[in-house]
Homo-oligomer: A and B are copies of this chain.
């Protein structure tokens, strides 16, 4: 029903809608949202159709209604917890980034092998030893993992996450993780992105 891509865009629309709501906007047209999101108006309308939220011709879509409808789709009824593995430079950046950002989705536990980081609290997040990973996420029912460890460790950590019952992973390691087919992986591969951008940056004046 909801495609990979459209879910991503809905997440984006919601953030744009929060901004609009803050500025006191109460209605928005598909072409306005499209402009903000850098997609076409038809795309916006199709995506919004999928959340079962309809606008009125002339006035457009009600901002609050949209936020609520998208929330019903993207959010769980009660808050969802994620585990972060790897509290290096990148891990700390991710923690700082998400702390208090989404009420329905928070990083509830962090893991590292470095004893100096264990049993501390960073950005309000409790840190554990990696060897307790499987136990802790099982006990706390954590279903989402964020892998921010070096490439050499990433597959081993992934297997621990899967053993602990995780069903979705955001992967920052520059390799492809091997997981059972029912575990969803989203890669955030900086190396790939930078090389891709470098490639397209030198293909002059097209498109």
Contacts and interface: CB of A to CB of B under 8 A. Distances in A.
Interface of A: 2, 4, 7-8, 11-12, 15-16, 36-38, 73-74, 76, 80, 82, 88-90, 92-94, 96-98, 101-102, 105, 143-144, 146, 166-170, 174-178, 181-182, 184-186, 188-202, 204-207
Contacts of A37: 176
Nearest to A206: B182
B184 A197 contact: yes
6 closest cross-chain pairs (CB), A and B: A168-B201, A89-B93, A168-B197, A184-B200, A90-B93, A167-B201
A171 to B, nearest CB: 9
Nearest to A90: B93
A176 to B, nearest CB: 4
Contacts of A177: 38
Given A11-B191, A105-B194, A182-B204, 8 more contacts: A11-B192, A11-B195, A89-B97, A90-B96, A98-B190, A144-B194, A167-B201, A186-B196
A125 to B, nearest CB: 14
Given A38-B176, A88-B93, A201-B144, A190 B207 contact: no
Contact of A198 (B36, B144, B197, B200): B144
Interface centre among A90, A92, A206 (most CB of B within 10 A): A90
A165 to B, nearest CB: 10
